[in-house]
Amino acid sequence: MTANKASDNHTHDQVFDDDIRNIIDNEIKRQQENIILIASENFTSQEVIRTMGSVLTNKYAEGYPGFRYYEGCENMDSVEEIARQRANKLFGSNYCNVQPHSGVNANMAVFLSVLKCGDKILSMNLRDGGHLSHGHKQNFTGKYFEIHTYSLDPDTEMIDYGAIMKQAKIVKPNLIIAGASSYSRTIDFSKFREIADEVGSYFMADTAHIAGLMTSGLHPNSVGVADFTTATTHKTLRGPRGGMIIADKKYGGLIDKSVFPGIQGGPLMHIIAAKAVAYKEALEETFKDYSRRIIENSKTLCQNLKDEGFRIVSGGTDNHLFLVDLTSRGITGIEAADLLASVGLVLNYNVIPYDKLTPTITSGIRIGTPAVTTQGMGTAEMEKIGEYISTALKNMENQSVLSDIKTKVKKLAGEFPVYSNMNA
């Protein structure tokens, strides 16, 4: 399924503030003329965009359906109820909270529901693919909890469940987190469950990246295995920017209180409505096929770069992303990302397992296929993109080669318009 529907009207036509309208137009152009390979980005449908731009943004609705602190919430109750029912159907759950404004807020609400200051968290090292909100020292998690991190196996660059079990027995964490921002392999949630049970810890799966793949049955489901599952709604789920929490209903009261009044005030009702729209889209059979094609494209692009001599972290990918280690090429991640952006191939520099360089320089780049797959690109286009990436990185000083690639990238992007009636 592609997000573009020529018959759709888009509300940006109704933005009359010239300054902002110009920026939106420029951004539409940027998104259409470049090839977006940022693993955490996607093109949401115009239906989702329109819903976000609705009058639902006007309403305060602190509380939950059936009990609000404001009058006039009958439509808000309906919209949140629909969002919750659809999310439960999608994830196979009996409780969810769709109010978190972001993935970090969803994680924070879980932590504050079952942990107290100083409790121990065991999570994946940021350098190996973890997330800031899993315990970085500058993040609230690093300041308020005692953080212990597990690393990937240095040889396979994959999760070593045996090593985590040993570490957990020593650390005795209160919470174990599975989930990552740049891990290209399937995560075995049942093994994390065994570890958590062995040491009497809570277990949270942060599925921000893989949620859409998971609900499409292409990654094991953490729901019913982990005590808490958090997700973002805008990555592989392809909805509005936001977060959510799924758990067994026995935790419902705790989680609800932790989100509101714990860490948030009024819910963003226009976003919750847009989440409901996205859940409906994700329940369609075509979305499962979309998720299947994301992975097919990721594997194809990954293999192409491998064939071109690039070292892929862990040797491959099972999901929507993979990491390229540029160490042997003598270039840093940031140099490669900047160069590729200059020819229209937009991705991000990324630390790799055991990286010797800092997160602001890095030895790697992260490549993801959710957005190009939404555009309708398939394996033939992945072969072309692989060729453009590798030719650009092998000819970093050759302006004429780079200029030729830039032209080809713009042409390819133009063949797969995202929002065909939104030309700037």
Nearest distance from residue 190's CB to ligand DSN, in Å?
Answer: 24
Structure letter (DSSP) for residue 421:
T
Residue 311 is a catalytic residue: no
Nearest residue (CB) to ligand DSN, 181 versus 303 = 181
Nearest residue (CB) to ligand DSN, 86 versus 131 = 131
Nearest distance from residue 244's CB to ligand DSN, in Å?
Answer: 14
Which position's Cβ is nearest ligand DSN? 40
**How far is it, in rounded angstroms, from Cα 123 to Cα 197?**
16
Nearest distance from residue 272's CB to ligand DSN, in Å?
Answer: 20
Stated length of the chain: 424
Residue 2 is a catalytic residue: no
Residue 232 is a catalytic residue: yes
Nearest distance from residue 131's CB to ligand DSN, in Å?
Answer: 6
Nearest distance from residue 414's CB to ligand DSN, in Å?
Answer: 26
Residues 170-199 that bind ligand DSN (CB under 6 A): 181
Nearest distance from residue 211's CB to ligand DSN, in Å?
Answer: 12
Please give the size of the binding site for ligand DSN, defined by CB under 6 A: 4
What per-residue string of b and e applies to 86-111 under the rule 16 or more CB within 10 Å gives b? bbbebbebebbbbbbbbbbbbbbbbb
Nearest residue (CB) to ligand DSN, 63 versus 103 = 103
Catalytic position from the list 185, 235, 299, 406: 235
| Contacts for 173 with CB less than 8 Å, ≥ 6 apart | 120, 121, 122, 148, 199, 201
Name the burial class of residue 155, with classes exposed (0-12), middle (13-18) and buried (19+) by CB atoms within 10 angstroms of its CB.
exposed
By C-alpha distance, which of 37, 102, 67 is closest to 275?
A: 102
Nearest residue (CB) to ligand DSN, 109 versus 405 = 109
Residue 241 is a catalytic residue: yes
Nearest distance from residue 16's CB to ligand DSN, in Å?
Answer: 33
What is the token pair recorded at 268? 């963003």
Nearest residue (CB) to ligand DSN, 201 versus 207 = 207
Nearest distance from residue 423's CB to ligand DSN, in Å?
Answer: 28
Residues 63-122 that bind ligand DSN (CB under 6 A): 103
Residues 26-45 that bind ligand DSN (CB under 6 A): 40
Catalytic position from the list 41, 128, 157, 206: 206
**How far is it, in rounded angstroms, from Cα 171 to Cα 165?**
10
Catalytic position from the list 207, 215, 232, 317: 232
* CB neighbourhood size of 140 (10 A): 17
Measured at the CA of 8, the angle between CA 6 and CA 13, to 5 degrees, comes to 110
| Contacts for 295 with CB less than 8 Å, ≥ 6 apart | 213, 218, 317, 318, 319, 320
Residue 127 is a catalytic residue: no
Residue 8 is a catalytic residue: no
- How many Cα atoms within 13 Å fall on the side-chain side of residue 236? 31
* CB neighbourhood size of 166 (10 A): 13
**How far is it, in rounded angstroms, from Cα 87 to Cα 94?**
9
Nearest residue (CB) to ligand DSN, 103 versus 212 = 103
- The verdict on 139 binding ligand DSN (CB under 6 A) reads no
Pairing label, strands 96-97, 243-247: antiparallel
Nearest residue (CB) to ligand DSN, 99 versus 181 = 181
**Can you name the residues that pair with 349 across neighbouring β-strands?**
365
Pairing label, strands 321-325, 243-247: unpaired
Contact 60, 74 (CB under 8 A): no
Catalytic position from the list 50, 89, 241, 384: 241
Nearest residue (CB) to ligand DSN, 40 versus 99 = 40
- How many Cα atoms within 13 Å fall on the side-chain side of residue 415? 11
Residue ranges that bind ligand DSN, judged by CB under 6 A:
40, 103, 131, 181
Annotated catalytic sites, by residue?
60, 62, 206, 232, 235, 241
